Amino acid sequence: MTATFRRYLNDYAAARWAALVLIALMMFFAYMFVDVMSPLKSLIESERGWNSSVFGTYAASEYILNVCGFLIIAGIILDKMGIRFTGILSASLMVLGAGIKYIGISDWFQTTELCTWLDSWWTAMPGSAKMAALGFMIFGCGCEMAGTTVSKAIAKWFKGKEMALAMGLEMAIARLGVFAVMWLSPAISEKFDGSVVAPLAFCTCLLLVGLINYIVFSVMDTKLDRQLIASGEATEEKSPEDEFHIRDLGKIFSSKMFWLVALLCVLYYSAIFPFQRYAPNFLETTLNVDANTASRLFSCFPILAMCLTPLLGIFLDYKGKGASMLMIGAVIMIACHLSFAFLLPIFPYKWLAVTLIVILGVSFSLVPAALWPSVPKIIDEKILGSAYCLIFWVQNIGLCLVPLLIGLVLDSTGGYLVPMLIFSSFGVLAFIFSLLLKIEDRNKGFGLEDPNIR
């Protein structure tokens, strides 16, 4: 009997890397929108009457609905409906939320009866901030859902291939958005006479481009599925054994490895993403520089991460050592935040600030590059989407609460020493959980230290 060799769309390097670029650009635009307000903290406070607590509440709003259970629902939608439907839905939610946030920040909204009514209750938070927070909540639902969808899409298109490299490149492209917005946001604001609205409008338009990109990817994914069905590798109807069931969530929650990964994730990212919200203002006050200079200094943060993450992905694909990389990344983060707390205020030099920021970017390469490709090794593929969403759900609890905490601490202490110590403590706990993860992997043999390509 003669064996027939079939090549699918994702077997062609050009096709699978083109698919990666399409979905990675969507996340690039999403990351830009997430931090578009970070370089404008001082400006938004002076123009709209916000303070650090209000800014912290606004920053936390991105995660509120996710913490309240949306991400669990998102995981079920992803495993039930697939990456095409879920990706388009998530991109659409990002555009909708961005539009509402734009309305809340816009100049004309400040004179409307709705803004006056919003101002009249919970007066500690201006109406503009309430509307912006509503839009950011909706955007956050779409952004986190998109993150998990992209992870599952890459796992599908790069299964048995360069999965860690692909995930690393996707993260690198997305983080380029942080670099870009730290330069573009204040530059666009300055171009339009110190407007906080113009950078927001620009990034909202980019999200529309991201939605179009994912629609194009969905056309490619439809063709891949048709090839798989025609060859018998997949069926249009899932068998009862392969179909996702709600009870499968219990398999995730009962997994010790899941909880180790999820807790490591929430602790690590709680010391990174909330720090990004306040970092430009931290540099502005610590180095005594203007907001534009501070945001451009911090823009160096993702540069080394962008370069290293794909290289680390290649290393993981061929050599492994994922669990060890998680531990090293946590140690680097602890050292950087302690240096921000004690060293930089004593030696407030720009070169020192940039050095610490770039080294922190090394940590931001090591941990995500090793973390996300490890999840398919410990979770069954049919519930992989739900597993990613549940990890993001646990992560979002920290990302929601930490900005609130930092804002309150800043208003009460008036300085960044205590916030940096808080970020450092998260790093210490993350190191402990990375150590426990490595021990559990060694005992149970999940293969976190093994290469992905065999």
Q: What is residue 454's predicted lDDT score, i.e. its pLDDT?
A: 62
Nearest to 34 by CA among 213, 173, 150, 178: 178
Pull the structure tokens for residue 386.
């739900």
Q: What is residue 388's predicted lDDT score, i.e. its pLDDT?
A: 76
Cα–Cα distance between 34 and 135 in angstroms, integer?
12
Reply yes or no on whether the pLDDT at 265 is more than 70.
yes
Rounded to an integer, what is the distance from CA 261 to the centroid of its chain? 16
Q: Are the beta carbons of 136 and 124 closer than 8 angstroms?
A: no
Cα–Cα distance between 197 and 387 in angstroms, integer?
37
Which domains, and CATH codes, for the chain? 23-233+246-444 (1.20.1250.20)
Contact partners, residue 377, CB within 8 Å, separation at least 6: 446, 447, 448
Number of Cβ within a 10 Å radius of residue 53:
18
DSSP tag of 382: G
DSSP string, 131-200: HHHHHHHHHHHHHHHHHHHHHHHHHHHTTTSSHHHHHHHHHHHHHHHHHHHHHHHHHHHHHTTS-SHHHH
Dump pLDDT digits (tens) for 391-443: 878 888 888 889 889 988 988 988 899 999 999 999 999 999 999 988 988 88
Cα–Cα distance between 427 and 270 in angstroms, integer?
9
Report, as an integer, the average pLDDT of 320-332: 87
Q: What is the residue-averaged pLDDT of the chain?
A: 85
Residue 22 one-letter amino acid: L
Rounded to an integer, what is the distance from CA 70 to the centroid of its chain? 16
Contact partners, residue 208, CB within 8 Å, separation at least 6: 95
Which of 89-98, 309-318, 403-412 bottoms out in mean pLDDT, i.e. has the lowest?
309-318
Cα–Cα distance between 295 and 358 in angstroms, integer?
14
What three-state secondary structure class fits 244?
coil
Cα–Cα distance between 225 and 137 in angstroms, integer?
33
Nearest to 81 by CA among 223, 253, 254, 218: 218
- The predicted model scores a pTM of 0.75
Cα–Cα distance between 300 and 216 in angstroms, integer?
32
Q: Are the beta carbons of 20 and 164 closer than 8 angstroms?
A: no
Q: What is residue 233's predicted lDDT score, i.e. its pLDDT?
A: 63
Nearest to 36 by CA among 295, 420, 396, 360: 295
